[in-house]
Amino acid sequence: MAEPLPDALDARWKARLGGAPLSAPEARAFAAFALERVSRTFALNIRVLPEPLRDQVLHAYLYCRMADTIEDDASLPAAEKSALLHAFAALFDHDLPVHLHDACVKAFPSLLPEGWRAADDWEKVLLARAPIVLAAFPRFPLEARRALGACVRAMCDGMGGFALRQERLARASAAARPALIETVADLDRYCWFVAGTVGVMLRELFVAHARIPAARAARMSRFDVSFGNGLQLVNILKDLADDRARGVSWLPGSLLAAEGLTAEDFGRPDASAHTRAAVRRVHATLFAKALGHLEEALEYTLAIPRWGRGSRRLRLFCLWPLLMAAETLALLAENAGEVAGAGGARLKITRARVARIVRTTFCLWWSERWLRAEFGRSARRIRLALHDAHPGHTFGTP
């Protein structure tokens, strides 16, 4: 029998959500369906994980996406956004008795803006139906609850503080307004609470599921933050034009000031050659930062034992986004003029390249030599491009 069309599935689930409470199997099916709607890429990637880890990571992603939906809403005042994130974070106290957790979860949708509770987009449907996807949390093993809870609470705390800072900056005069992100360290901190926390959580879930030896786990813990930060920073660099269009800049103010630039100099159609060269140097500095994180993310992935419980699946889950991020960063670095220019280009690697990464890693996931060589090809392209953009800097041997 043919699968229902996406629109038919949407209608079917929305009708079902309006009926009797979902059974536990239906709630899990809804979580998998919702993941397809909010992130098709991650929904494909997660299929490689073994159970019960897959179910834990699936729900963890949805919880993080729910927090992200609150943070991203431009119409919500910062104080309300911060309070809502705080209330959401409180649902992830792993020490809370099940009956109290259920009561808090049941009450959470009433805290949402009224329009959200009747919204059609799946990000807000997830929040309005929080009791369905949060019902799984108390049933997870203690180690998983601790890892998921710590991740979501740190993420919500950081997002809430960032929202309040955004509002304070918006009230300041343009002349006295500091940058949203003042230093490269501030950018790393932002990446930490939206993605580095996920790297830590995944490491804890992997160690518990695969019973990874202490020495390997310790090595992973050295690089887990970079695994999340690197992927997030590549996404930020890839989406600069989109963010600029909605009035947000993640470019550190100190980097701009050192080059005599402002955020408005990025993407200007009438920018001088001098300004465009300065813009490329700022990008080069951030590309180098991202590359450093991705190099540590590779070490994180290679620390997963080659032979063990689910090792192949765990490595593949990490390798696919890592190698795709490295390819994306190489493409951005080689086309820095387009990224910096007026066209607002949003560059993506080809489907053929994605297919090659998936196909070859399926065969060679176990080979550290091959994986380092594969990553190294992208890294060399990045370094060559960085040397061209910023000849006076050392970015490593191209």
Asked if pLDDT for residue 182 goes beyond 80, the answer is yes
> Looking at residue 67, what is its pLDDT?
97
Of 31, 209, 192, 56, the residue nearest 125 (C-alpha):
31
pLDDT bracket for residue 269 (50, 70, 90) = confident
Type of residue at 60: A
Cα–Cα distance list, 143 to 60, 105, 178 (Å):
13, 21, 41
The predicted-structure confidence for 208-241, as pLDDT tens digits, reads as follows 999 999 999 999 999 999 999 999 999 999 988 7
Asked if pLDDT for residue 344 goes beyond 50, the answer is no
Q: Are 136 and 27 in contact (CB under 8 A)?
A: yes
Cα–Cα distance list, 169 to 77, 107, 208, 376 (Å):
13, 33, 42, 41
What average pLDDT score do residues 361-381 get?
97
Query: Residue 90: what are its φ and ψ, rounded to 5°?
Result: -65, -20
What average pLDDT score do residues 290-311 get?
94
Query: Residue 77: what are its φ and ψ, rounded to 5°?
Result: -55, 150
Asked if pLDDT for residue 29 goes beyond 90, the answer is yes
> Looking at residue 206, what is its pLDDT?
97
What average pLDDT score do residues 102-112 get?
94
Query: Residue 99: what are its φ and ψ, rounded to 5°?
Result: -65, -35
Asked if pLDDT for residue 76 goes beyond 50, the answer is yes
What average pLDDT score do residues 159-169 get?
86
Structure tokens at 127: 């929040």
pLDDT bracket for residue 397 (50, 70, 90) = very low
Could you give the 3-state DSSP secondary structure of residue 114?
helix
> Looking at residue 380, what is its pLDDT?
97
> Looking at residue 392, what is its pLDDT?
60
Contacting residues for 320 by C-beta, under 8 A, at least 6 apart? 45, 48, 357, 358, 361
Q: Which residue has the higher pLDDT, 349 or 168?
A: 349
Structure tokens at 296: 């540590």
- Please state, for a pLDDT cut of 70, what percent of the chain lies above it: 92
> Looking at residue 347, what is its pLDDT?
79
What average pLDDT score do residues 250-264 get?
90
> Looking at residue 270, what is its pLDDT?
80
Domains 22-177 and 178-398 share a fold: yes
Asked if pLDDT for residue 345 goes beyond 80, the answer is no
Asked if pLDDT for residue 152 goes beyond 60, the answer is yes
> Looking at residue 176, what is its pLDDT?
53
Of 326, 321, 301, the residue nearest 380 (C-alpha):
326
Cα–Cα distance list, 360 to 43, 315, 366 (Å):
20, 13, 11
> Looking at residue 89, what is its pLDDT?
97
Structure tokens at 300: 């994180």
Most confident of the ranges 33-47, 107-121, 210-224: 210-224
Q: Are 238 and 166 in contact (CB under 8 A)?
A: no
- Sign of the torsion formed by the C-alpha atoms of 222, 225, 226 and 228: positive
H helix intervals, the chain: 6-17, 24-38, 40-46, 53-72, 78-89, 98-107, 114-117, 122-128, 130-134, 142-171, 184-191, 197-210, 214-238, 240-245, 253-258, 273-302, 311-334, 336-340, 351-364, 368-389
Contacting residues for 25 by C-beta, under 8 A, at least 6 apart? none
> Looking at residue 169, what is its pLDDT?
76
pTM comes to 0.91
> Looking at residue 109, what is its pLDDT?
95
What average pLDDT score do residues 24-29 get?
94
Domain locations along the chain: 22-177, 178-398
The predicted-structure confidence for 2-12, as pLDDT tens digits, reads as follows 455 567 888 89
Distance CA 45, CA 192 (A): 22
Could you give the 3-state DSSP secondary structure of residue 267?
coil
Structure tokens at 189: 């901190």
What average pLDDT score do residues 161-177 get?
73
Of 361, 360, 359, 372, the residue nearest 312 (C-alpha):
361
> Looking at residue 289, what is its pLDDT?
96
Distance CA 250, CA 188 (A): 11
Cα–Cα distance list, 380 to 55, 75, 285, 291, 355 (Å):
37, 43, 16, 10, 21
> Looking at residue 166, what is its pLDDT?
80
> Looking at residue 343, what is its pLDDT?
42
> Looking at residue 4, what is its pLDDT?
54
The predicted-structure confidence for 81-95, as pLDDT tens digits, reads as follows 999 999 999 999 878
| Fold of domain 178-398 | Farnesyl Diphosphate Synthase (1.10.600)
| Fold of domain 22-177 | Farnesyl Diphosphate Synthase (1.10.600)
Q: Are 177 and 32 in contact (CB under 8 A)?
A: no
Cis peptide bond upstream of 52, omega within 30: yes
Distance CA 95, CA 146 (A): 9
Least confident piece of the model among 172-186, 245-259, 324-338: 172-186
Q: Which residue has the higher pLDDT, 378 or 336?
A: 378
Q: What is the DSSP-derived secondary structure letter of residue 22?
A: P
User: Within 13 Å, how many C-alpha atoms sit on residue 77's CB side?
Assistant: 4
